Every structure is written in C-alpha cells, then in structure tokens.
Chain A
C-alpha cells in the first residue's frame, strides 16, 4: 500500500478513524433522540460560515465551526420556546443558513463557490491538515469524556424524556448538550464527506447496529466501531478505484445498513 507512504493519505486515514468513530457515537444519540434534521442544519450552518470566512478572508474552518456551533446552540432553546420538536426548528434554520451562505458568496463575487467553500459542501479528505487532526483528536477525547460522565442521564433520556424528568433528572441541559456536541462533531467531520453526504455517517452506523442489538450498551460500543470501519473501508475503496472518498464512504455505509437489514434477527421467528 504505497499510497500510505504519503503524509496526505496518512492524515486522511487518521481523520477517517477518528471522525468515523465520533460520528458513529453521536449518531446513536441523534437517532434515539429523534434529532435527525440536525445533520442538515449543522452542515449548512458550517457551509454558511465557510462562505462568510471566504468573503471576509478569514479561515473558513473557524467561521464554519462558529456558525455551526451557533446553530447548534440556538436550536434547543428555540425549540423549547416555540414548544416544537428540535427537528422542526432545525428544518427552519436549515434554509436560513443556505440563504445566508448565498448572500455571503455574493459579497465576494470574485471568489464564487471557491474551493474552500466547496470543500465544506462536498468534502475534501486530502485537504486535511495536521492542525485539523489535532482539533479532531482533541474533540474525540473531549466527547468521550463528556459522554462517560453524563451517560446515565443520556441513557434515561433516550429511553423516555418524561420518565427521566419524573425520576428527578433535569433533562433540558442534556438535550442541549447533545445538539451542541452533534453540531461540533459534524462540523469537524465535514472535510471527510462534505455537508451533502454527512447525514449518512450520522445515521447509518447507529441504524445498522440497532438492527442487531437490543442492549443499548452494546449499541453505544458497536456503532462507533461500525462508523470507523465504514470510513476506513470507504477510503480504501476510493483509492483502489479512484472514486471520490465521500461518495465511497457513503456507499459503504449504506451497504452495511442494507446487509444489517437483511440479516437482522429482530424480525426472525424461531421455534424453541
């Protein structure tokens, strides 16, 4: 595997391992808490931020993170205020971010849909820098630590939010925390597959594992591993067949889900 001798590909492989793991982990909470629209909103928030960064000659990753984080930070409180599900609010914010992105792009017409902005939308795994990896690994450590400490509350909320409240847990900060963490993890993973395909990484690993397990502890362990395997396998396939990395990763993860659906023991009847 001569391609692994290149630093650019080594960085891509490391990014696949950490981002795949993180997306698989956060995806469990997003799927179980029914926050599916969050992926769309975050990635387009990052896109709008990146567009702003290009228009104002600022680092697009930084403005992308700020925009996506602000989006993530606002969704929970707005949903509570409007008494609507977080999914509905993310669906309202999603076109707003797109509208802002187009306005930012017209502010710098000479740039247009520059490669930096396009990288956020379509992904560019080979543009991963060493500092991107440092951010990603730091985020990996921070996310694992946070989830370890608040796992019991998240576990109870995923089962039933009202019952968790009835047992004395203040659920609101934990819901906000997951929305915020999802936003940040999605933003840092955008270079992997891009905003248009990122949802596959968020939903597919958890949905795949949920076809097999009726034990949430196993789901939370296996989903990140499936996410990681998916991204690494997708990267290998993209190199072997010279396909775009993002598309390869998404196709692999969809195949994983299709296989899980076919092999799932959950719907099988057996005589004892």
Chain B
C-alpha cells in the first residue's frame, strides 16, 4: 500500500449470505487522502455494498480491504472509529425515545472507548457538529419527530462529530429540501478541503456536486465500469442522459 493511499481494495468480491452471485466482483480500487469521489450506478448495482465492504460491515468473500494500512477484517473496530458513515434511507419512527443530540453523540462512542463515559468535551463535539449543519436547535427534539431531511442532517452530524478521516455517505441528501441540497454538499466540499477528509458519496444523480469532486466511479452489476475524471463522466452522460448509460457508452 502506497503511503498516500488511505483505502485500498485488492480483487475484492462480496457475497451476501445465502446468495451465490457476488454483489461486487473482483473490485480493485484505491483512494487517496484528497479524494472526493462520487459513486454512481443504477439500483442494486453494488454501491452500498462497496461502502459497507470498505468500512468492514460486510466481510469480503474474496480479496483484501485495507484502510489506513490496516486489514479491515482484523481491525474493524479500530478502523470504524475513524470513519464517518451515513447509511441510505435511515429513518427513525415517531415515538422512539432518542433525542437528536443523543444520536449525534453516539457517533463518538467507539472513540470514547469501553468503560468510559462521554465527557463535556464529547458533548461539545456533538453540538459543534450540529451547529456546523445548522441544526443545533434540534438537539433536544425527539429524533422520531424530525422530518426526513432533518434526520439526514442529524446522521451527517453523527458522522462528523467523531472528527473522522474518511466520510462514507450513502445518498446523504436524498430527503433534504432544495436549499439544503445546495448548502450541505457545499459544506462537505469545504470540510473535505479544510480537513483533508477522504470522501466517498454514493448517489443516483451524477449532476450533483460534480464541480467539487475529483473522481467519479460507476458501478454496474457489481463491477467498476468507469473510474475517471468528472468532466469525462459528465460528457458521456450528456450524450447518454441516464446514469445507467454511462458504463455502456464507456465500453
């Protein structure tokens, strides 16, 4: 693994239990510290599997995943403490007994460590992350009473509160209103630049934030079918208006 490689996947295939077809197949990828990458592709193409294989939530059936130079399978907890993750379509039902601030603070629990309790500085980190996203007034609100977009911001604050080195975001803006869809991606770009945060964003919409990312990866049927500059990806998409056409046109 080269020194500037933060994430490296070597011939990785991930198969869900009970399945015989790999969700991602023979993937070879590496990501550098200053990467801000968009991962696009049709439904069930393997985008979420790719993210969850990187952070070790899904064990690879074949191949090796290294993050910060550590094998994710044997160092899962240690690695995940430094990765901020926002899952796809995460919604808390009304009536669930969790305040928004509690949910953000939970992002720090792995960091705080076993047998230790959150301290004032941890609570401040959680509140700072909420402030950054403009949702500090939601701190004491029950999570289940927030709108879909507000809940997504809380989940993003949870991912940012631990001061991660890597951000893995799975359709993080899908429920946000138009204003937030403009502001929050801009904030992610700013954090990426200021903190050198390696950022991987899964999306259906390739037109989002293309000006701020340096790389686009297209996943189709579990394989990487395009990996290159956003300008090139965009020019192909302009010729083929659907994202799914990107891989076909590229090959």
Please tell me if A250 contacts chain B, counting CB pairs below 8 Å.
no
Q: Which residues from A are CB-within-8-Å of B96?
A: 214
- Among listed A54-62, A93-101, A149-157, interface-contacting one: A149-157
Q: How many residues of A contact B (CB 8 A)?
A: 27
Are the CB atoms of B95 and A163 closer together than 8 Å?
no
Q: Mark B128-163, 1 if CB is under 8 A from A, else 0.
A: 000000000000001011000000000000100010
Question: Closest A-chain residue to B112, C-beta based?
Answer: A152
Is the CB of A121 closer than 8 A to any CB of chain B?
A: no
Q: Are B97 and A167 in contact (CB under 8 A)?
A: no
Q: Does A159 contact B (CB under 8 A)?
A: yes
* Chain A binding surface, main DSSP class: helix
Among A167, A170, A218, which residue has its beta carbon within 8 angstroms of that of B107? A167
Interface residues of B in 98-116 (CB under 8 A from A): 98-99, 102-103, 106-112, 114-116
From residue A155, how far is it (CB to closest CB) to chain B in Å?
A: 7
Q: CB-CB contacts of A101-137 with B at 8 A, as 1s and 0s?
A: 0000000000000000000000000000000000000
* Interchain CA distance A156-B90 in the complex, whole Å: 15
Chain B interface residues toward A at CB < 8 A:
17-18, 55, 57, 76-81, 83, 85, 87, 90, 94-99, 102-103, 106-112, 114-118, 142, 144-145, 158, 162
A85 within 8 A of B: no
* A168 adjacent to B81 (CB under 8 Å): yes
With beta carbons under 8 angstroms apart, the residue of A156, A160, A165, A210 that contacts B57 is A165
Contact A155 B87 (CB under 8 A): no
Of the candidates B78, B85, B106, B116, the one whose C-beta lies within 8 Å of that of A159 is B106
Contact flag A168-B95 (CB < 8 Å), given A152-B117, A159-B103, A162-B57: no
State which residues 195-226 of A face B: CB under 8 Å.
210, 213-216, 218-219
Q: Is the CB of A168 within 8 A of B97?
A: no
Residues of B within 8 A of A162 (CB): 57, 87
Interface centre among A151, A169, A210 (most CB of B within 10 A): A169
Q: Which 5 A-B pairs have the closest CB atoms?
A: A168-B110, A168-B81, A214-B142, A168-B80, A216-B97
Interface-centre pick from A165, A170, A216 (highest chain B CB count, 10 A): A165
A164 in contact with B109 (CB, 8 Å): yes
A214 to B100, CA, bound (A): 11
Contact of A210 among B78, B79, B97 (CB under 8 A): B97
CB of B102 to closest CB in A, whole Å: 7
**Who on chain A is nearest to B55 by CB?**
A166
15 additional A-B residue pairs with CB within 8 Å, beyond A167-B108, A214-B145:
A150-B114, A153-B109, A155-B102, A155-B106, A159-B98, A160-B90, A164-B109, A165-B76, A167-B85, A167-B106, A168-B80, A210-B95, A216-B97, A216-B102, A219-B97
Q: Are B95 and A167 in contact (CB under 8 A)?
A: no
B99 touching A215, Cβ below 8 Å:
yes
Contact between chains at A153 and B114 (CB < 8 Å):
yes
CB <8 Å contact, B80 and A167: yes
Residues in B with CB closer than 8 Å to A83 are 17-18
Instruction: A155 to B162: give the CA distance in the assembly, Å.
Output: 17
B115 CB contact (under 8 Å) in A149, A169, A219, A266? A149
CB contact under 8 A between A214 and B95, given known A152-B118, A155-B102: yes
Can you name 23 A-B pairs with beta carbons within 8 Å? A149-B115, A150-B114, A150-B115, A152-B109, A152-B117, A152-B118, A155-B106, A162-B57, A163-B85, A164-B109, A167-B81, A167-B106, A167-B109, A168-B78, A168-B80, A170-B76, A214-B95, A214-B98, A214-B144, A216-B97, A216-B98, A218-B97, A266-B94
